[in-house]
Amino acid sequence: MPEQTACLTIAGSDPSGGAGIQADLKTFAALGTYGAAAITALTAQNTTGVQGVELVDPAFVAQQVESVFDDLPVASVKTGMLGSAAIIAAVADAIEAQLDRTPELRVVVDPVMVARSGDPLLDPKAVLVLRDRLLPLASVVTPNRHEASLLTGTGPIESPEDLRRTAFALFELVGHRPVLVKGGQALAGALDLLIDGHGAEFPLAIPGAPIVTRSTHGAGCTLSAAIAALLAKGHSLRESCAGAKRFVFGAIEHAPGLGRGNGPLDHLWLRRIDEQTRVREREED
């Protein structure tokens, strides 16, 4: 039997299952890859908000990462919530060491710095370590509009022109590494903009979006995990970003409607549709 492609998520745990490593692992499985996880933080959260956070010791985070790299054929890694400057530095060291051994490793950095509300999630020192140590290692950086604005200082993103200006500013800031800046619900079509490593720009939108729904918990985590999975399977960066965006919007459209707040997505919607199609085909036969 051929070896299955492995993906590693380095992120926080969401006990409600909608975001963080739980969302990442479901996404990896849904897209046909083997998922591994290194936990950076334990959170008490649900669809209504975050009630508590306990960060994991940075050395132990690094030990988790190194254990996975030492044993599994990891083709891609994504980072999510890292929580502190010390954890970011430890993760950067571990990824940098692995890149020395495996230069073809794909690294998706979701710089979890700002909440959907716009509230900061990292202190200024941690942001500097993220910018200087981790972002330069990325195959693609996937900030939301608040995070991209904070990193570049270009002001709020409220139009496609703002999105383009900020995306190119970030592209310059990270040393011409590819960036995918997410316009999200603020722009028609939930417009995102990918700038590849050559400076070529690729707008990504979903006709009819944004969807009017409260089921968006973990959408950013899911997007970056889907990009990592598709990159691991050999798709190009542009194909991976476009495919991940379609996957996320399908997961939002098929959301189960759980919780009293911003509900989770349906990460298994593709497989559920495939199963329904097979059942119909058997019944027609």
- What distance, in Å, lies between the first and last C-alpha atoms of the chain? 31
Judge contact between 122 and 86, C-beta under 8 A. no
For the segment 23-47, what is each residue's pLDDT rounded down to a tens digit? 999 999 999 999 999 999 999 999 9
d(C-alpha 228, C-alpha 139), whole Å: 10
Residues of the chain under the 70 pLDDT cut: 1-2, 115-120, 210, 278-281, 285
For the segment 147-206, what is each residue's pLDDT rounded down to a tens digit? 999 999 999 999 999 999 999 999 999 999 999 999 987 788 889 999 999 999 999 998
User: What domains does the chain contain, in order, with CATH numbers?
Assistant: 6-284 (3.40.1190.20)
Please compute Rg for the chain using Cα positions.
Answer: 18
The pTM assigned to this predicted structure is 0.94
Polymer length in residues for the chain: 285
